[in-house]
């Protein structure tokens, strides 16, 4: 499988278990790896036969900014489901970053990474 990678897609969301997270919101970042066969698109130089990463980026940031969820695992799953709606995409790896997670000790980032395939 070939890969199309998007890193650092950012949007403000209101996800989290705590009321403060829901009320104030925070910036979430997402990295994606879309697994697909790029040969049909490359062979005909045809955008319609690949994943249009501009559209994917807009859809993902809309999910981040959209309906709040408690868990970033749920957010990652929603993003994966949307990516797999693009016909050429056979598998997707989604990493959700929550750098402002409510943790009481020093840390750099919290991430959840999932890998999903069609079927």
Active site residues: 98
Alpha-carbon separation of residue 2 from 5, 11, 27, 36 (angstroms):
10, 27, 30, 5
DSSP at 88? T
- Give the DSSP H/E element, type plus range, for residue 41: helix 39-44
Residue 44: Cβ-neighbour burial (10 angstroms; 0-12, 13-18, 19+): exposed
């Amino acid at each position: 499988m070939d890969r199309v990678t998007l890193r650092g897609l950012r949007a403000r969301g209101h996800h989290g278990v705590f009321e403060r997270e829901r009320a104030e919101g925070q910036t979430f970042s997402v990295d994606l790896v879309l697994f697909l066969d790029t040969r049909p698109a490359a062979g005909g130089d045809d955008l319609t036969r690949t994943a249009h990463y501009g559209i994917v980026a807009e859809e993902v940031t809309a999910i981040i900014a959209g309906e709040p969820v408690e868990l970033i695992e749920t957010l990652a799953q929603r993003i994966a489901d949307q990516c797999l709606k693009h016909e050429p995409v056979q598998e997707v790896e989604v990493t959700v970053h929550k750098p402002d997670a409510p943790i009481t000790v020093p840390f750099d980032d919290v991430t959840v990474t999932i890998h999903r395939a069609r079927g």
